[in-house]
């Protein structure tokens, strides 16, 4: 797409099936675990996107060898693990706006030690990393800020792990705990390492993904509820041989919501009952709004069951997919409130502010608070030009306002900067066009 915008015509009905791209969260975790492990790892269906390209480039700069094999059914990335010892002791790494790449990589480089700089796009330099750096430096690593304290860019030097217990806040981003869990085996060479979580842990399903993958790479994690995690000494990541990346459950949310709003049935393939991603719980939220949901081991299907019902719920467990609910709320029978979503404020953009601004453009009445958003649907959805804030999820969410002719009076929705979807789903708009009748 060479345009700076895409115009979406009103869509009266949607139906069809969509094969999901690989999960971003799973892809970048697996890449780092494969790099740190002992042996060769074959990664099937790795997401091809800006965020994974950033991680692959960083690993190559660090001396980790990998190559991509194209097969009849998809791609396989072959990674040669370095068993926790990086060949290149210094590197300058550009991390784009990929939180799932910079946070675990910062932790790994800090624990391994060397001379590394990490930086990204301007928005990345506004996304907090201080809680992670504080936890690492308290344990003996040597990470310095080269810009604003608490934010990238970072300079990592050689340190020495001197502690057996670390603590990290759980209420800003679950990626900080993910990063520490992933590098804990590197810290636990001679003695056990325990990570304590301070305060409420948000986005627990993302920690479940991390724990699941760490265990698949052969490391045991002892868990005391959600308050502390212990890794016994002498464990090293082992290649699982071949590992498959499941479809992205956050990306599934747009198509499932489309089925619930625009008739359906719409089926997504690549996630289902067996998924390790918490965002499959998005389907339950749609069901609460009156959609008809069916599920198999590796697919989910949604269809409309009459107009959507308003919802008032806590979305702390699925913050990314919850954005889709905010747009689906335009089609509900009354005001909907999404609660406990403070983490939206520190994502690719301030998503509460961005969502409120754009929903108002299409006619909704929106009330926003520090950690909630309340959406009162309009009588009819207005034509609008939607700004996307260099945030892939804003672009994908607002494609849904092109649905349901009855509410729209033939209006056209213009989405500015549609290329921002390259972060996780480069083919999103063509996939969306395929289900739009």
Secondary structure percentages of the chain, helix, strand, coil, to 5: 35, 25, 40
CB-CB contact of 276 with 26 (8 Å): yes
Q: How far is 426 from 99, CA to CA, in rounded Å?
A: 18
The verdict on whether 50 is a catalytic residue reads: no
Catalytic residue from among 45, 320, 387, 404: 320
* DSSP assigned state of 272: S
Query: Facing residues of 41 across strands?
Result: 79
Neighbours of 383 (CB within 10 A): 16
Q: How far is 76 from 363, CA to CA, in rounded Å?
A: 46
**DSSP element (H, E) containing 323:** helix 319-328
Neighbours of 88 (CB within 10 A): 14
Burial 182-202 (b: 16+ CB within 10 A, else e): bbbbbbbeeeebbbebeeebb
Residue closest to 365 by CA, chosen among 355, 350, 375: 375
Catalytic residues: 320
């Amino acid at each position: 797409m060479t345009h700076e915008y895409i115009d979406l015509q009103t869509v009266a009905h949607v139906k069809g099936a969509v094969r999901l791209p690989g999960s971003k969260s799973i892809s970048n975790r697996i890449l780092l675990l494969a790099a740190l492990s002992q042996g060769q790892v074959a990664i099937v269906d790795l997401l091809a996107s800006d965020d994974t390209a950033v991680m692959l480039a960083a690993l190559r700069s660090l001396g980790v060898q990998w190559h991509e094999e194209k097969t009849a059914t998809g791609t396989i990335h072959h990674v040669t693990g370095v068993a926790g010892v990086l060949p290149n002791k210094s590197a300058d790494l550009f991390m784009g706006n990929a939180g799932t790449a910079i946070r675990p990589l910062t932790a790994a480089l800090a624990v391994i030690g060397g001379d590394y700089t990490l930086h990204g796009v301007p928005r990345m330099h506004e996304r907090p990393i201080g809680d992670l750096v504080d936890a690492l430096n308290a344990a003996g690593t040597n990470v310095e800020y080269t810009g604003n304290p608490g934010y990238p860019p970072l300079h990592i030097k050689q340190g020495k792990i001197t502690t057996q217990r670390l603590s990290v806040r759980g209420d800003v981003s679950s990626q900080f705990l993910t990063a520490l869990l992933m590098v804990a085996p590197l810290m636990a060479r001679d003695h056990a390492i325990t990570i304590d979580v301070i305060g409420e842990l948000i986005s627990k399903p993302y920690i479940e993904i991390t724990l699941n993958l760490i265990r698949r790479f052969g490391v045991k994690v002892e868990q005391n509820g959600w308050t502390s995690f212990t890794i016994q000494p002498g464990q090293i990541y082992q290649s699982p041989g071949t590992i498959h990346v499941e479809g992205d459950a956050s990306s599934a949310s747009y198509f499932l919501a489309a089925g619930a709003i625009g008739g359906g049935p719409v089926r997504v393939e690549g996630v289902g009952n067996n998924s390790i991603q918490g965002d499959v719980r998005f389907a339950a939220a749609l069901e609460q709004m009156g959609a008809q949901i069916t599920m198999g081991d590796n697919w989910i299907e949604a269809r409309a069951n009459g107009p959507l019902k308003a919802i008032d719920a806590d979305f702390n467990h699925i913050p990314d997919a919850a954005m889709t609910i905010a747009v689906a709320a335009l089609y509900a029978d009354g005001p909907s409130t999404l609660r406990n979503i403070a983490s939206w404020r520190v994502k690719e953009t301030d998503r509460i502010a961005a969502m409120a601004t754009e929903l108002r453009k299409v006619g909704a009445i929106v009330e926003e608070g520090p950690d909630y958003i309340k959406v009162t649907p309009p009588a009819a959805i207005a034509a609008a030009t939607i700004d996307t804030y260099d945030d892939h999820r804003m672009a994908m969410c607002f494609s849904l306002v092109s649905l349901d002719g009855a509410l729209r009076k033939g209006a056209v929705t213009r989405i500015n900067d549609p290329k921002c979807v390259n972060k996780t789903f480069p083919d999103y708009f063509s996939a969306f066009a395929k289900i739009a009748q």
